[in-house]
Structure 1
Amino acid sequence: MQKFIFLSIFVLVFTLSCKDKKNYSFENNLIPKPLELNFNNGELEVKDNIYLVFTDNSVDAQRVQNFVKNFLGSVYNVSVVSEKQKDGTNIFFKIAGEGDNESYTLNIDKNGVELVSPAYNGLFLGFQTLRQLFPAELEAGEKPETVNLPYVSIKDSPRFKYRGMHMDVCRHFFGVENVKTYIDMLVMHKFNTLHMHLTDDQGWRIEIKAFPNLSTISSTRRGTVIKQNWGEYDEIPVSGMFTQDQIREIVKYAEDRFITIIPEIEMPGHALAALAAYPELGCTGGPYEVSRTWGVFDDVFCAGNEKTFEFFEKVIDEVVELFPNSPYIHVGGDECPKVRWKECPKCQQRIKDENLANEEELQSYFITRMEKYINSKGKRIIGWDEILEGGLAPDATVMSWRGTEGAVAAAKLGHDAILCPGSHCYFDHYQSEDKENEPLAICCYTSTEKVYSWEPIPDSIPVEQHKHFLGVQANLWAEYIKEFSHLQYMAFPRMTALSEVAWCTERDPDYAQFKKRLQVMFKRYDKAGYNYAKHELE
């Protein structure tokens, strides 16, 4: 009898212990990993009726409501209410507290789910965590037989306020639905910024009504270099352009998901597509052609020609109206050879008239002049780290891609910086060392582990300058990316790793632990229909 009682107690304890372990196993599934997480004994069974309890119906509240309803509504009966209901599962959304608008707390207990934040974008981010506690089947609109959420208390906030991904639609064009899906990918991983590269030598991708030739000429090239061979072309036209209505549609889609889109209008380099349509804006007058190859070209916008500035001012007038919620306009500023300027009478006269020392200072003049105009429209500028050369415009933010040196230099000058060094944040690099069996890429090999292990702020930076390091971004250039599925492949799972770098104040130094969580995220990608590189599958 005593043996029976002992055995019964052992079985009970073992069963409860297993249940606890099931609860605690959720911790390894969350990406990015929350700042504080405590699992408690117990589970909340999700009922068929789910009630979203909101205390107001503001625009931002409706954005959260609509997203949650769309995600859960395909498998549950979801209603928005103003008070707790008895016949289902309640999810409470509360605005309370002070601090970072993106911070949140998430609590699950017998009374339901409670999300609390100082602002609705924090509640939205908190729901992305809750989303990962639901089975992956919901990503495909599939309803599991039963869903039990663990009793949990989470307190979370981001390390960086700028968490960005870049999308190149110039080298190859990706349409509205692709951009929306890309935004969805950002949302899942708590990124908050999409940098859209809209103009380059190989294509101008945004309608500007003041300059219709940008739509009819600059948006199409007559062919593309074959693989990485210089001189052989496929003679297949590549075209594409977003109408202004399409831009508004994309911007609204992003805004409804608390994503800011920063448009990039390249100046004064990477100009061939625009010059093909308006050759008078170049130093030689052309003729010019929308480029069929990649690289850096000598023909750039003429800095001595007043028509160049009139052109950009009119372009900016339309761009700021299309992206009303972006605090920035990205002006490029990178890879601008000075060959034409050295030979151009107008540029040399500009150098003389403005008492400039050389062509580097002429570029600084160009960027500073455009910054003043952009500032007059209520926006600030971001530029690649080349804008440091010749003198930095007064209020410019530096996007440091040639290592972290540009960001360090900007911070020392009291300027803000965003880190995206090519060594860790260029996702157009190969996904494995076995390049023969990988899709064509620009060069190099950047592993997911390398991205995960990256510490953005160098140890040498004084603490008082840390405030100038706004955050991090990965760049996904599309020279060799023709299909959106290929773009997803190049993004995932390096983008997943970067989400931890961007969000987590402290990361688990053991990559194996992140890789374990990654296996669970892969199941979510499968259900969502996302393509990804599978080298990290165990």
Structure 2
Amino acid sequence: MSKLRLLLCLALCSVTAFAQAADTRVELIPMPAQLTRADGSFSVNEQTPIVVPPGDAAALHAANYLVGLAEHSRGLSLQVRESPATGAAITLQRDASINNREGYTLDVTPKGIRIAARDDAGLFYGAVTLWQLLTPNGRRGEVSVPSLHIRDEPRFSWRGMMLDSSRHMQSVEEIEGLLDQMAAHKLNSFHWHLTDDQGWRIEIKRYPELTKIGAWRDGLNEQSDQSPQRYGGFYTQDQIRHIVAYAAERQITVVPEIDLPGHAQAAVASYPELGVTGKRPPVSPDWGVNPYLYNVDDPTLRFVENVLDEVMDLFPSTYIHLGGDEAVKDQWQASSAIQAKMRALGVKDENALQSWFMGQLGTYLNQHGRRLLGWDEILEGGLPASATVMSWRGSKGAIDAARQGHDVVLSAAPDLYFDNVQSDRDDELSGRLPPISLAKVYGLEAVPKELNAAQAKHVLGLQANVWTEHLPTISHVQHALFPRLDAVAEAAWSPVAKRNWSNFLSRLPAQFVRYGQQNINVADSAFAPVFELDRNAALASGKARVTLTNQAKYGALHYTLDGSTPGLNSPLYSKPLDVTMPGVLKVATFAADGSALSASRQRALDTDSLLGRNSGELVNCPGSDFTLRLQPMPDATSQAPAYNVNIFDACRLYRQARLDGVASISVQAARLPRNYALAHEAKLVKSHPASTPHGELLVHQGNCDGPLLTTLPLPGDGSRDFTLEGPLLPRQGVHDLCLIFTAPTNGPLYAIDKVTLIPGQVAKAAKP
């Protein structure tokens, strides 16, 4: 159990009533379109019936869903009955005057609660809203719901989340859990990424090799870098039908993605005749952009159409996503057969050929009552009139598509790419940098300002993407999603005028308690304490002046200096702290209702700690801002350790090192697999030639071409983790240190876990 999860569970027993002000202090996410408070309240207990119209199956389903939620999170056992509405009860009714199919009204008076909607979706969302009203805190049993009137409907019709199951799979039960969370956030589009270079995850009965071969890759063993470890699996058609039905019961449409013409290596590994070269590659163990494409022969088109027949049989969604992204055209350019096909078709270049290929499949989908959806690269050579664009390379694709009359879903990187970490903290889980904060996601606007009113109508909505190269387990996925998914939900559902960052933050404590009840690994990155201090001044004076804050600038920071875990009775931070060294400062963040917003973090304040830098505290050397936060193995199931690594340049900077009295350096390091397919970006990888058989770590003063302070040879025993130690040439004052790994770029990556400068008697002749 994570530290935050433990604190959340403890908080359930200690939450106090939160004063409710005006109409904005109702603990709802996303915020309804209209909400008006009134005097009074209605108490819901186990004697309160839920009443639905006789014979209304959808109302009965919504009522039973509410029963399950209330039982799990509030301990309330509510009963449903089919009868006309009478007396003090929760009633679900139809109202033909509500125009939006997902819209509803919810009224709470001292006499009862009424949910009304025209369509099934509205009744369901009304029930979800009522569940949140029943869970404003972590208490159990009877609850008093304030009187109010809600009239609600979504801003956008597409409110999505994409899950990549190709790089790393999730179990059916884990996907069900994510669908439950989507429903709780009123998200309605589950984009399921099922095929890629690293694995084919959907059973196609006509082509069994797709899962016999394409669903499995050889990686590296957790225990030994030398022994291959088979990774993979797939979803049977029965499992897929179950997931589609499970989602439909929660008003969620599952949109499958079969990626083409690129990201095809698993398919070509299964059936080499689909590729350009005719040779069988392995299913890729490498992340990134692999070179394998489908060819454009008629048999390949028939193959894809046959696959789509089974896909359409499994997924009733209007949209079928066909990818279209990152199709590196090298193989097409080098193929005489492909070039001959281009001449026969009269297309001018490979982008136009991709457009033709996608157009054939788009027409096929149209003939079956479906529509093509693709990443914004499908714009590059033109696309069918009925195609919808998912804009991921910023908002430009959305702007271009809408101006051309195409519907569009905003799914822009990096703001909506949740494999980007949530903060630059050194205890973050694996993922990409730069961090995408909760505030940044909340501030996202789906409709680009460059569009006029008519063009803006083509924006269907927005979607968060969870790519899983660096998120190997469901715990990683949850940590990446929550609470940023709350921000997405509000951006997708609530009117612009209802969105307010401060108010949103005030509603998150109740949501964190709900997450704790559901055993969700929610990230506390936005609220985790940040320790700010001048390390060198502390080293010189023996006293550390520490300023405490957090990313969201929200919550009460309580601290201790006696080694105990901070609680509500611990001192409240209000101004910078002066701590006499050595000491240990522990801090946690709490909401105004007393619930925990972050787990406790600690900062050791002593010479050894202040002379050290952890992986996340080092920065890239000049020339490249690319950073990944990696675990030791690509398919690791643990959450730590994780290292910040630039795969283009094995060089890190230790900023502002105080070198007075420093005699030597200790570097805890790790070897990581170099499993990255970089395509045309491979030329950007910087080589640092080695002087010894296995390479070395060079430590330079200042710039990376500054004086060489020491050379630390790398071990040749193949160990994954190792420590390098050696003397430094004596230096005075404060300087940057540049740490460069020299080793062949076709070998492993090298990562730094921690660098520590060690005081002592300075060596007179530390030879580099």
TM-score scaled to structure 1, two decimals? 0.90
Question: What's 2:254 paired with?
Answer: 261
| Contact 1:95/1:120, CA 8 A, preserved across alignment | no
Of residues 354-363 and 509-518 in structure 1, the stretch that sits farther from structure 2 once superposed is 509-518
State the 1:26 CA deviation: 6.8
Matches within 5 A, 1:121-200: 121-135=121-135, 144-200=140-196
Question: What's 2:45 paired with?
Answer: 47
Is 1:310 the counterpart of 2:302? The answer is: yes
State the 1:137 CA deviation: 7.1
Give secondary structure in 1 for the equivalent of 2:510.
Answer: helix
Q: Deviations over 1:4-49 (max 9, x none)?
A: xxxxxxxxxxxxxxx9953747734211111111111111111313
Question: What's 1:15 paired with?
Answer: none
Give secondary structure in 2 for the equivalent of 1:236.
Answer: strand
| Contact 1:35/1:155, CA 8 A, preserved across alignment | yes
Give secondary structure in 1 for the equivalent of 2:25.
Answer: helix
Looking at secondary structure, tell me which structure has more helix per residue: 1
Q: Which amino acid aligns with 1:330?
A: H
| Contact 1:334/1:385, CA 8 A, preserved across alignment | yes
Question: What's 1:321 paired with?
Answer: 313
Q: Deviations over 1:381-421 (max 9, x none)?
A: 10000000111222100000001110111111111000011
Paired residues, what number?
A: 507
| Contact 1:136/1:527, CA 8 A, preserved across alignment | no
Give secondary structure in 2 for the equivalent of 1:116.
Answer: strand
- Using a 3 Å threshold, how does the CA distance of structure 1 residues 136 and 110 change in structure 2: closer, same or farther? closer
Q: 1:298 aligns with which of 261, 285, 291?
A: 291
Give secondary structure in 2 for the equivalent of 1:265.
Answer: strand
Over the aligned positions, Cα root-mean-square deviation in angstroms equals: 2.1
Give secondary structure in 1 for the equivalent of 2:106.
Answer: strand
Q: 1:251 aligns with which of 244, 255, 258?
A: 244
Question: What's 2:32 paired with?
Answer: 34
| Contact 1:171/1:478, CA 8 A, preserved across alignment | yes
Question: What's 1:370 paired with?
Answer: 361
| Contact 1:26/1:133, CA 8 A, preserved across alignment | no
Q: Which amino acid aligns with 1:196?
A: W
Q: Which amino acid aligns with 2:50?
A: L
State the 1:224 CA deviation: 5.5
Question: What's 1:410 paired with?
Answer: 401
State the 1:199 CA deviation: 0.3
Q: Distance in 2 between matches of 1:259 and 1:373?
A: 25
Question: What's 1:5 paired with?
Answer: none
Q: Which amino acid aligns with 1:466?
A: A
Aligned residues with identical type, % of pairs: 38
Q: Distance in 2 between matches of 1:355 and 1:44?
A: 71
Q: 2:263 aligns with which of 242, 266, 270?
A: 270
Q: Deviations over 1:129-179 (max 9, x none)?
A: 1111112678xxxx7242111111111111111000000000000010011
Q: Distance in 1 between matches of 2:61 and 2:497?
A: 31
Looking at secondary structure, tell me which structure has more strand per residue: 2
Unaligned runs of 5+ in 1: 1-18, 227-231
Q: Distance in 1 between matches of 2:294 and 2:341?
A: 14
State the 1:110 CA deviation: 2.4
- Using a 3 Å threshold, how does the CA distance of structure 1 residues 53 and 264 change in structure 2: closer, same or farther? same
- Using a 3 Å threshold, how does the CA distance of structure 1 residues 468 and 425 change in structure 2: closer, same or farther? same
| Contact 1:72/1:78, CA 8 A, preserved across alignment | no
Q: Distance in 1 between matches of 2:43 and 2:119?
A: 28
State the 1:339 CA deviation: 0.8
Question: What's 2:20 paired with?
Answer: 22
Question: What's 2:595 paired with?
Answer: none
- Using a 3 Å threshold, how does the CA distance of structure 1 residues 63 and 48 change in structure 2: closer, same or farther? closer
Q: Distance in 2 between matches of 1:340 and 1:426?
A: 29
- Using a 3 Å threshold, how does the CA distance of structure 1 residues 383 and 369 change in structure 2: closer, same or farther? same
| Contact 1:225/1:292, CA 8 A, preserved across alignment | no
Q: Deviations over 1:426-451 (max 9, x none)?
A: 000011112x3211113321000000
- Using a 3 Å threshold, how does the CA distance of structure 1 residues 471 and 280 change in structure 2: closer, same or farther? same
Give secondary structure in 2 for the equivalent of 1:424.
Answer: coil
Give secondary structure in 1 for the equivalent of 2:351.
Answer: helix
Question: What's 2:602 paired with?
Answer: none
Is 1:486 the counterpart of 2:476? The answer is: yes
TM-score scaled to structure 2, two decimals? 0.64
State the 1:116 CA deviation: 1.3
Give secondary structure in 2 for the equivalent of 1:184.
Answer: helix
Is 1:470 the counterpart of 2:460? The answer is: yes
Question: What's 1:9 paired with?
Answer: none
State the 1:63 CA deviation: 3.0
| Contact 1:101/1:119, CA 8 A, preserved across alignment | yes
Q: Distance in 1 between matches of 2:244 and 2:171?
A: 13
Is 1:223 the counterpart of 2:219? The answer is: yes
Question: What's 1:103 paired with?
Answer: 103
State the 1:520 CA deviation: 1.7
Give secondary structure in 2 for the equivalent of 1:222.
Answer: strand
Question: What's 1:503 paired with?
Answer: 493
Question: What's 1:83 paired with?
Answer: 84
Give secondary structure in 1 for the equivalent of 2:414.
Answer: helix
Give secondary structure in 2 for the equivalent of 1:37.
Answer: strand
Q: Deviations over 1:325-361 (max 9, x none)?
A: x110000000001111112232112211111111111
Give secondary structure in 2 for the equivalent of 1:178.
Answer: helix
Question: What's 1:352 paired with?
Answer: 343
State the 1:378 CA deviation: 1.1
- Using a 3 Å threshold, how does the CA distance of structure 1 residues 363 and 526 change in structure 2: closer, same or farther? same
Q: Which amino acid aligns with 1:97?
A: S
| Contact 1:106/1:153, CA 8 A, preserved across alignment | yes
- Using a 3 Å threshold, how does the CA distance of structure 1 residues 485 and 20 change in structure 2: closer, same or farther? closer
Q: Which amino acid aligns with 1:55?
A: P
| Contact 1:508/1:514, CA 8 A, preserved across alignment | no
Q: Deviations over 1:206-229 (max 9, x none)?
A: 000000011111111111699xxx
Of residues 273-282 and 216-225 in structure 1, the stretch that sits farther from structure 2 once superposed is 216-225
State the structure with bigger RCO (CA 8 A, min sep 6), 1 or 2.
1
Q: Which amino acid aligns with 1:182?
A: L
Q: 2:509 aligns with which of 519, 523, 527?
A: 519
| Contact 2:20/2:26, CA 8 A, preserved across alignment | no
Q: Distance in 2 between matches of 1:291 and 1:50?
A: 57
State the 1:53 CA deviation: 2.3
Give secondary structure in 2 for the equivalent of 1:167.
Answer: strand
Of residues 259-268 and 112-121 in structure 1, the stretch that sits farther from structure 2 once superposed is 112-121
Question: What's 2:381 paired with?
Answer: 390
Give secondary structure in 1 for the equivalent of 2:402.
Answer: helix
Q: Deviations over 1:224-276 (max 9, x none)?
A: 699xxxxx787322112100000000000000111000000011110011111
Q: Distance in 2 between matches of 1:65 and 1:321?
A: 30
Q: Distance in 1 between matches of 2:273 and 2:186?
A: 44
| Contact 2:53/2:59, CA 8 A, preserved across alignment | no
Q: Which amino acid aligns with 1:119?
A: D
- Using a 3 Å threshold, how does the CA distance of structure 1 residues 503 and 457 change in structure 2: closer, same or farther? same
State the 1:68 CA deviation: 2.2
Give secondary structure in 2 for the equivalent of 1:223.
Answer: strand
